[in-house]
Amino acid sequence: MKSFLLIFHFLLQILLCGFLCSISNAKDTITATDFLTDGKTISSSDGCFEMGFFSPASFTNNWYVGIWYKHYVPDKSVVWVANRANPITNTSGAMLKIANPGRLALLTAANTIVWSTNSSRPLAAKNPIAQLLNSGNLVVRDANDAKVENFLWQSFDYPTDTLLPGMKMGKNFVTGQEFYLSSWKNEYDPAPGEYTYHCDPTGYPQDVMRKGKVKVFSTGPWNGLRWSGVPGLTKNNIYTFKLDFDEKKAFYSFALLGPVMTKLTMNSNGVLQRSLWAENRQEWHVYLSSPADTCDNYGTCGAYGSCNNILTPVCSCLDKFVPKDPRNWAVTNWSGGCVRRKPLNCQKGDGFLKYSGIKLPDTQYSWFDASMTLHECKQTCLRNCSCMAYSDLDIRNGGSGCLLWYGNLIDIHELPGGQDIHIRMANSELGSKKTKLVVLSLSLLIGATVIGLVIGLYIRKKKKKRKMNLKDDLDLPLFALSILNKATSNFSVENKIGEGGFGSVYKGILEGGQEIAIKRLSKSSSQGVNEFKNEVICIAKLQHRNLVKLIGCCIARGEKMLVYEYMRNRSLDLFIFDETKSLLLDWPKRFNIINGIARGLLYLHQDSRLRIIHRDLKASNILLDADMNPKISDFGIARSVVGNETGANTHHVVGTHGYMSPEYVVHGVFSVKSDVFSFGVLVLELISGRRNRGFSHESHSINLLGHVWKLYKEGRPLELIDAHLTDSCYISELLRLIHVALLCVQQCPEDRPDMPTVILMLANDAILPEAKEPGFFTESKVTSEYSTSMCSTNEITVTLLEPR
């Protein structure tokens, strides 16, 4: 993986900014004699950014001076506005010019100053000019002094709603100046809106979104690697990010690794978006957005409440806590939060209980020390009765430093990749020390009467042989057999729409007219029971628009049935491998399907609480709704891995040949990278319209993967493409996807990209690394082909797959 990143990085460096921007001859400066009027612009010397007059909508007569990407973007992406609160209504005669002493000013025809820059040392420049730098920073400086520290003024110190690479967000403790984003009032009015986004260093730094004065979202504190509550912010090939924090300053910033356009924008509707310009689609591709779900709304569950987006309801009290106001809590008003079951007794002595997998609470009332050990941290917290919790300050290298919280703990989430926190507890609650792993217990009250179905799923972690019981309440409607009988005319043959792995699938219509699909597990299959439980547990907890939705289940008279939303267009294989139906899927539709599957997989691998490896991703398990949106289905053999565990081993290899990765078939080792392999096969099938398994070619006896590899090596990848896709105007995108797919099906799991990287690769035209030989390109030599020596050894394979 390292070499993969290195190559990628290297190629990106070579191309840095020679790509989306084209060096322009336009001027990049405003001088005393040369000013800017409506209709004229200046551009950064590399042609990336442009500045001039603009009006945000044709129906307003309001004009502003702003900076935008010069590269073609359908709706001009304005990244900075000068006179955001003071529009000009008549640009005739208006100008942006250098005015003495040392400032840049926007004047109307009547010579009134609408906006101007400002400097503490206005006389420092003898010959002041304004220049638009390649970073998008507009600076006022002396014509003969380009030193950063001597700039009189820079737009990067006055952000509007967009954080560009190289800009900073946070606070200078020496000058007291704060740099933060503030949204536009609305899409057409750049005046400061309701939402602001700060890197807030009160207590310990965390990013905070406010609506007016009210906190609406917080990232949780910085943990050395990232924000505690944003596990999706991981090392990637597009940008790096950091927190620069000492006595003098707390600045959050990011920097680009490649020739891409990416920005962080505080939108006027209260959503913070990290987007990436997808050149091939000519649109901004939203890569991360916050708040993303109910749990992201600040303090959803109140003090000591814990939010988990996968559960229904999302809020529960932390273990050993109970709702403070049970009545309101029961009707999903969680604002009252929770209190300790047993009150603290600081005089008689308290202790601490460790909670794991947590987004750390708001650090507004906190204290820290980078040099303390965790033990000293505990002692410090114990000495002060209002100290409620402590944790590592920095999680790198096994953890270091000390972070303490005073007062109630707010905005706690349960997250994959969450952290440990030690919460103050009455001594009598501490119990035996043996319970090293404290799993958050979830309140099992609600719904228990509705469903008598509580299923324990035991996940064995092979190395540590530690068992964890996930006996969660499933808030899932139970259907009576009679209702399903009626919906399907007693499971008549006409209503049968498919034969799944462990039974048949029927179409049904409920009394209200809702269409459903019913998976009826065959009574004879003994395996069925486990698969049934597995699927119920997995999917009931997962909610994503690219995963098929489970509506309910039915257990009666030895029958086990799952009720799903009905997918009008059934499954993907019925289209792509069918000569006439395949005509209905043009390339934009297929690309949309590929993207949807990728997002669904990303959710399974990364975003859901139970990290899920699907293990049986294939065309017939991709269902299509009426609008041809894909939904991943069939979680019968999916496996959940807990927390950071990313690989596992099984003696019972199940799956579908043609889609299974070599390390899985041969050694039973599966990981998220086995799903990536299957995804790669699927993409190639979508592009070629041919099945991997059973592929035949007149001139050789290799399978589809081998065929693609051969064409790729010989520089003829176009020959792969499904005949009726070739006359579309998306050839370069198709070629790129073949390349991405080949990266996904590489022999060694560590060479394959993970899903976040795949999504970036799909979105963006950055240079891809060279693909290595795919696994299994001849079907006949399945077992001999793959030898462990070609990759690393079995043990290492598992550890190498740590998330990055």
Ligand X SMILES: *[C@@H]1O[C@H](CO)[C@@H](O)[C@H](O)[C@H]1NC(C)=O
What are the structure tokens assigned to 488, written together?
């399907």
Q: Which stretch binds ligand X (CB under 6 A): 333-341, 433-441, 463-471, 610-618?
A: 333-341
Q: Does 347 bind ligand X (CB under 6 A)?
A: no
Minimal distance in Å, beta carbon 53 to ligand X?
14
- Angle at which helices 672-688 and 755-763 cross, to 10°: 30
Q: Which stretch binds ligand X (CB under 6 A): 193-201, 325-333, 540-548, 688-696?
A: 325-333
Residue 252 to residue 217: CA distance in whole angstroms: 17
Region 401-460 residues binding ligand X, contact defined as CB under 6 A: 406
Catalytic entry in 616, 675, 751, 754: 616
Q: Does 336 bind ligand X (CB under 6 A)?
A: yes
Are the C-beta atoms of 628 and 590 separated by less than 8 Å?
Answer: no
Minimal distance in Å, beta carbon 30 to ligand X?
18
Q: Which of 386, 428, 469, 787 binds ligand X (CB under 6 A)?
A: 386
- In the bound state with ligand X, the residue whose beta carbon lies nearer, of 23 and 109, is 109
Are the C-beta atoms of 409 and 422 separated by less than 8 Å?
Answer: no
Q: Which stretch binds ligand X (CB under 6 A): 77-85, 221-229, 330-338, 548-556?
A: 330-338
What are the structure tokens assigned to 426, written together?
């009455």
Minimal distance in Å, beta carbon 137 to ligand X?
16
Q: Which stretch binds ligand X (CB under 6 A): 89-97, 174-182, 608-616, 748-756?
A: 89-97
Q: Which one, of 619, 612, 451, lies nearest residue 544 by Cα?
A: 612
Binding residues for ligand X, rule CB under 6 A, total: 14
Q: Which helix (H) or strand (E) holds 162?
A: strand 162-163
Q: Does 559 bind ligand X (CB under 6 A)?
A: no
Q: What is the DSSP letter of 757?
A: H
Minimal distance in Å, beta carbon 504 to ligand X?
47
- Angle at which helices 731-744 and 587-602 cross, to 10°: 30
- In the bound state with ligand X, the residue whose beta carbon lies nearer, of 422 and 507, is 422
Q: Which stretch binds ligand X (CB under 6 A): 206-214, 331-339, 734-742, 786-794?
A: 331-339
Q: Which of 13, 86, 177, 333 binds ligand X (CB under 6 A)?
A: 333
- In the bound state with ligand X, the residue whose beta carbon lies nearer, of 26 and 385, is 385
Region 360-379 residues binding ligand X, contact defined as CB under 6 A: 367
* Residue 519 marked ligand-binding: yes
Tell how strand 515-521 and strand 559-565 pair up.
Answer: antiparallel
Residue 145 to residue 37: CA distance in whole angstroms: 26
Are the C-beta atoms of 478 and 453 separated by less than 8 Å?
Answer: yes
How many residues in the chain? 804
- In the bound state with ligand X, the residue whose beta carbon lies nearer, of 364 and 661, is 364
Neighbours of 178 (CB within 10 A): 14
- In the bound state with ligand X, the residue whose beta carbon lies nearer, of 386 and 485, is 386
Q: Which position's Cβ is nearest ligand X? A: 336
Q: Which of 289, 297, 335, 443 binds ligand X (CB under 6 A)?
A: 335
Distances (CA, A) of 583 to 141, 574, 590, 725, 736: 60, 12, 11, 9, 22
DSSP 3-state percent helix, strand, coil across the chain (nearest 5): 25, 30, 45
Q: Which of 384, 427, 489, 696 binds ligand X (CB under 6 A)?
A: 384
If 0-12 CB within 10 Å is exposed, 13-18 middle and 19+ buried, where does residue 460 land? exposed
- In the bound state with ligand X, the residue whose beta carbon lies nearer, of 201 and 774, is 201
Residue 586 to residue 591: CA distance in whole angstroms: 9
| Cα dihedral: 162, 165, 171, 175 (round 10) | -110
| Cα dihedral: 430, 433, 438, 442 (round 10) | -40
SS (H, E, C) 455-488: ECCEEEECCCCEEEECCEECCCCECCHHHHHHHC
Minimal distance in Å, beta carbon 91 to ligand X?
8
What are the structure tokens assigned to 36, written together?
């800017």
Q: What is the DSSP string of 610-678?
A: SEEE-S---GGGEEE-TT--EEE---TT-EEE-TT--EEE-SS--S-TTTS-HHHHHH-EEEHHHHHHH
Residue 461 to residue 464: CA distance in whole angstroms: 6
- In the bound state with ligand X, the residue whose beta carbon lies nearer, of 10 and 173, is 173
Minimal distance in Å, beta carbon 384 to ligand X?
4
- In the bound state with ligand X, the residue whose beta carbon lies nearer, of 63 and 670, is 63
Q: Does 57 bind ligand X (CB under 6 A)?
A: no
Annotation says 586 is catalytic:
no
Q: Which stretch binds ligand X (CB under 6 A): 290-298, 327-335, 372-380, 679-687?
A: 327-335
Q: Which of 29, 234, 273, 328 binds ligand X (CB under 6 A)?
A: 328
Q: What is the DSSP letter of 362?
A: P
- In the bound state with ligand X, the residue whose beta carbon lies nearer, of 298 and 506, is 298
Q: Which helix (H) or strand (E) holds 550?
A: strand 550-556
Q: Does 101 bind ligand X (CB under 6 A)?
A: no
Distances (CA, A) of 208 to 110, 149, 250, 269, 570: 42, 29, 14, 16, 44
- In the bound state with ligand X, the residue whose beta carbon lies nearer, of 137 and 703, is 137
Q: Does 86 bind ligand X (CB under 6 A)?
A: no
Minimal distance in Å, beta carbon 381 to ligand X?
10
Q: Which of 86, 118, 127, 269 binds ligand X (CB under 6 A)?
A: 118
CA angle 128, 129, 132 (to 5 degrees): 150
Minimal distance in Å, beta carbon 297 to ligand X?
15
- In the bound state with ligand X, the residue whose beta carbon lies nearer, of 245 and 367, is 367
Distances (CA, A) of 358 to 105, 420, 604: 50, 6, 19
Q: Which of 14, 85, 109, 583 binds ligand X (CB under 6 A)?
A: 109
Minimal distance in Å, beta carbon 345 to ligand X?
16
Q: Which of 60, 90, 428, 696 binds ligand X (CB under 6 A)?
A: 90
Q: Does 297 bind ligand X (CB under 6 A)?
A: no
Are the C-beta atoms of 310 and 610 separated by less than 8 Å?
Answer: yes
Minimal distance in Å, beta carbon 59 to ligand X?
16
Minimal distance in Å, beta carbon 532 to ligand X?
39
Region 728-767 residues binding ligand X, contact defined as CB under 6 A: none
List of residues contacting ligand X (CB under 6 A)? 90, 92-93, 109, 118, 325, 328, 333, 335-336, 367, 384, 386, 406
* Catalytically annotated residues: 616
Binding-site positions: 519
Binding-site positions for ATP: 519
